[in-house]
Amino acid sequence: MAPYIVSGLTMHILHDQPAELYSTFRLKTRLATVIEVINLADLQQLDISSVPLVLGEGSNTIFLEQQNRPIIRFIGTTITEKWLDKDHCLLHVEAGHNWHQLVAATVAKQLWGIENLALIPGSVGAAPVQNIGAYGVELADVCAYVDFFNWKTNSVKRFNTQACKFGYRDSVFKNELAGKGIIVAVGLTLSKIAKPVLSYQGLDTLAATSSITDIYNQVIVTRNSKLPDYRKLANCGSFFKNPVISNDTFQQLKIKYPAIPGFKQSDGKVKVAAAWLIDQQGFKGFSRNDIGCYERQPLVIVNYGNGRAEDLLSLIGSIQNKVNLAYQIYLEPEVRLLDSHGQQYV
């Protein structure tokens, strides 16, 4: 661990940490080293002799085993505001800022663009990796750029929206740039002009003239009615991605399963509701020891307190196998599941 220690820096270097402090799923294991970096100067002076594992607030990460690989968190939270014209504002937000707190602040300022993404847990820096989305809105819709610190060059490169290669719960940071650096800031273009997105269930009862505050509040009410508070019941939100299949495949499934819900995509493919697929196989409320599917939303896997990695992996496998057998659809985890080397397990 010595190569990471540089005298005179303001970073925090923590050893032998309980993993449940750094993952909202709270499996009980240990993290050998956690490095919390406050600013860019700290990053530039670090001697990265071995590639660390990058972590935000742990709302999309589950540590299955003890982590021997060093973990690094960028916790800077500064926000700067630049008006592009009288109606459009560019926010430069450091990666350590809490996402929901940012949404609340933009709503208070009547800045439209991310109100539908209220109550999504995690940090701003983690948002581009997954291209977070909810209720018809994705981060990609408002992201102007992402500032990425590269371990090899020891410098920051700015990626515009196109260079981020955003897709459904996907980005360049999740693929080509995985393990090569850390996101330090995100630029968001928001607007004073009302642009309500109300097409999704839960918001479709609102009037087209609804205020940004009304929409924000409705998103919170809707999410709270379906999803458990991770502070009270350990979870990482939606566990699996909604699968995207060809329209022909969807139409064939529709014949056999008339109630199957699907959402047409711009490329002609259809996004199928993973929650429905899981629910139809009887997993809602099902548990295996202290790991189970939430009673109100089977897409959410929860840890009732003393969950074990082996029970979680067993439940994941059962869900994937049953859904695949019934619909010939493979459910891919949205959550990052890490083994002892910090590598994706499933």
Active site residues: 169, 238, 334
Q: Which amino acid is at 247?
A: N
**Which residue in the block uniquely carries the two structure tokens 């599941």?**
337
Q: Which amino acid is at 232?
A: K
**Which residue in the block uniquely carries the two structure tokens 């449940």?**
20
**Which residue in the block uniquely carries the two structure tokens 């018809």?**
136
Separation of first and last alpha carbons in the chain: 28
Q: Which amino acid is at 150?
A: N
**Which residue in the block uniquely carries the two structure tokens 């205020």?**
211
**Which residue in the block uniquely carries the two structure tokens 């010595």?**
2
Alpha helices in the chain (DSSP H): 40-45, 99-108, 127-130, 212-226, 247-256, 274-280, 309-327
Query: What residues contact residue 120 under an 8 Å CB cut-off, 6+ apart?
Result: 99, 100, 103, 127, 132, 134, 237
Residue 170 backbone phi and psi in degrees, to 5: -150, 155
